[in-house]
């Protein structure tokens, strides 16, 4: 059993001779931050009053003149870190303002808590389940740099098809061709054991895994699927997921990236996100409508499709996300819904007729996102669809990629760039303000940070291919 209250944490620490407690929290963008204290510094008071730290150096957070913050450990999240040599207990924390004692409005974990509370306050549902499918690349080498007079990146993988002719003394072949990496057995699948090791570590942390496999791309693209869980729990699990994948890879002298599009001419990494609403133990998405869905589920889809451009500001939050979300290629950019059809932005899986399995799968998010914020914005969009009874229109069961221009013209698509997604967020975010889940400050800070630190710096720099196109103009 994992801890439920502070007393359980102290018992776990004693039984495992814990020497260090690692306090973890999220920056605004969704990366784990941490500081550590000796085990004797974690006492009952810490779980009530918190421990102080400087928040001024955390991305998207406090200014230097109001930098003091508190982290309050959540005892239910305490886990023994499987990678550190000194016995260490990791605890996920909530962030609190030391003056007001209020949860910090820019803490992504707090936003997910508020989204869940708002859902319950509507009476529509009491539980929102999320099941993201994160894809990632396992690489052997990564080098990149950008200066005033040069810029480059170089990635490599023993699996990369570009190494089919490399002298490896010996080169044994078995390198998946572009777009042919889906489900081959070893030795073509070079990372079966490594993914299994990742699964073993995840399950030791209490995270249930349903499957793992090689993904479509060459160069070690992978996927591990966690079993669905409530919004806050899944946000926590997603942080452990990234941490485990990166550290298992490091054990083997490899590196992992969740960057959506690191490899040219092959599939990018998505994060197809399954979701459903339940009330008093009963699934609300099961019904007698299209693909076995209820009217409530159809309205949820309507909300997702209506607010999809705004969702992208959080679910596809990098400039690189839109190297993946390009019309006419593999990514599901079309804002339509369909049973089974993987070319639609929203899919209804039909693996099982069981009412408990009825869910919708939103396919345009990618794993560079902050899970807490992404799950929250999708939940708020779906609830808005239910509250306003938004009709998603007719399903689209044709192969969208095979349609001509006339048929495609009637199907809206996701934004073509991060700029467009942020513009959508600026113009369409009232639904996020309900229940004070997101605040105007959170929206404004997100937009400003992305423009100043990502969009403008990328715009200012030439990229290597521009020299191929324009050097001789």
Q: How far apart are alpha carbons 139 and 151 in whole angstroms?
A: 21
Return the structure tokens found at 12. Answer: 């776990």
Report the sign of the C-alpha dihedral through residues 229, 292, 394, 284, in that order. negative
Q: How far apart are alpha carbons 100 and 308 in whole angstroms?
A: 35
Catalytic residue among 81, 94, 215, 384: 215
Contacts of 386 (CB under 8 A, 6+ apart): 124, 296, 299, 300, 303
Return the structure tokens found at 68. Answer: 């003091």
Around 199, how many Cα atoms within 13 Å sit in the side-chain half-sphere?
A: 18
Q: How far apart are alpha carbons 413 and 441 in whole angstroms?
A: 28
For 271: left if phi > 0, alpha if psi spans -120 to 50, otherwise beta; the answer is beta
Return the structure tokens found at 377. Answer: 């914005």
272 is catalytic: yes
324 is catalytic: no
133 is catalytic: yes
- Beta-bridged to residue 88, according to DSSP, are 20
268 within 8 A of 261, measured Cβ to Cβ? yes
Catalytic residue among 107, 135, 140, 159: 135
49 is catalytic: no
Around 82, how many Cα atoms within 13 Å sit in the side-chain half-sphere?
A: 19
Q: How far apart are alpha carbons 25 and 33 in whole angstroms?
A: 5
For residue 376, give the H/E element and its range. helix 371-387
Catalytic residue among 27, 159, 189, 361: 361
109 is catalytic: no
Catalytic residue among 27, 94, 159, 223: 223
Catalytic residue among 41, 43, 45, 54: 54
251 is catalytic: no
201 is catalytic: no
213 is catalytic: no
135 is catalytic: yes
Q: How far apart are alpha carbons 454 and 449 in whole angstroms?
A: 8
Q: How far apart are alpha carbons 131 and 276 in whole angstroms?
A: 9
Task: Indicate which residues carry an active-site annotation.
Answer: 54, 133, 135, 215, 223, 272, 342, 361, 363
């Amino acid at each position: 059993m994992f801890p439920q209250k502070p007393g359980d944490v102290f018992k776990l620490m004693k039984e495992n001779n814990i020497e260090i407690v690692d306090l973890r929290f999220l920056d605004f963008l969704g990366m784990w931050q941490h500081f550590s204290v000796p085990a004797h510094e974690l006492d009952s008071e810490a779980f009530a009053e918190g421990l102080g730290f400087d928040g001024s150096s955390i991305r998207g957070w406090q200014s230097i003149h109001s930098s003091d913050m508190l982290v309050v450990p959540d005892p239910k999240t305490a886990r023994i870190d499987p990678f550190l040599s000194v016995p260490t207990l990791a605890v996920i924390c909530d962030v609190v303002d030391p003056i007001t004692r209020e949860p910090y409005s820019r803490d992504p974990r707090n936003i997910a808590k508020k989204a869940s509370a708002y859902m319950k306050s509507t009476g529509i549902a009491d539980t929102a389940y999320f099941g993201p499918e994160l894809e990632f690349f396992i690489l052997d080498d990564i080098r990149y740099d950008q200066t005033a007079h040069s810029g480059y990146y170089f990635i490599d993988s023993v699996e990369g098809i570009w190494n089919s002719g490399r002298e490896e003394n010996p080169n044994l072949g078995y390198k998946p061709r572009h777009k042919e990496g889906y489900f081959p057995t070893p030795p073509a699948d070079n990372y079966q054991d490594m993914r299994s090791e990742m699964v073993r570590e995840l399950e030791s942390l209490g995270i249930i895994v349903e499957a793992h496999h090689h993904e479509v791309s060459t160069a070690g693209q992978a996927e591990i699927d966690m079993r669905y869980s409530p919004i806050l729990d899944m946000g926590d699990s997603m942080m452990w997921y990234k941490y485990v994948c990166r550290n298992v890879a490091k054990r083997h002298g490899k590196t992992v990236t969740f960057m959506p599009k690191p490899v040219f001419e092959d599939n990018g990494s998505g994060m197809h996100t399954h979701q459903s609403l339940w009330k008093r133990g009963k699934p609300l998405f099961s019904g007698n409508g299209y693909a076995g869905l209820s009217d409530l589920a159809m309205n949820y889809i309507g909300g997702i499709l209506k607010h999809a451009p705004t969702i992208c500001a959080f679910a596809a939050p990098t400039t690189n996300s839109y190297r993946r979300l390009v019309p006419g290629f593999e990514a599901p950019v079309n804002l339509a819904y369909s049973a089974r059809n993987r070319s639609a932005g929203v899919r209804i899986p039909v693996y099982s007729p069981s009412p408990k399995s009825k869910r919708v799968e939103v396919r345009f998010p990618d794993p560079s996102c902050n899970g807490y914020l992404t799950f929250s914005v999708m939940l708020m969009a779906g609830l808005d669809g239910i509250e306003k009874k938004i009709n998603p229109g007719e399903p689209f069961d044709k192969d969208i990629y095979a349609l001509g221009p006339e048929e495609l013209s009637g199907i809206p698509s996701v934004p073509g760039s991060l700029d467009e997604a942020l513009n959508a967020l600026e113009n369409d975010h009232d639904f996020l303000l309900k229940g004070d889940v997101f605040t105007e400050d959170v929206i404004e800070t997100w937009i400003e940070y992305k423009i100043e630190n990502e969009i403008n710096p990328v715009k200012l720099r030439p990229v290597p291919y521009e020299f191929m196109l324009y050097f001789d103009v």
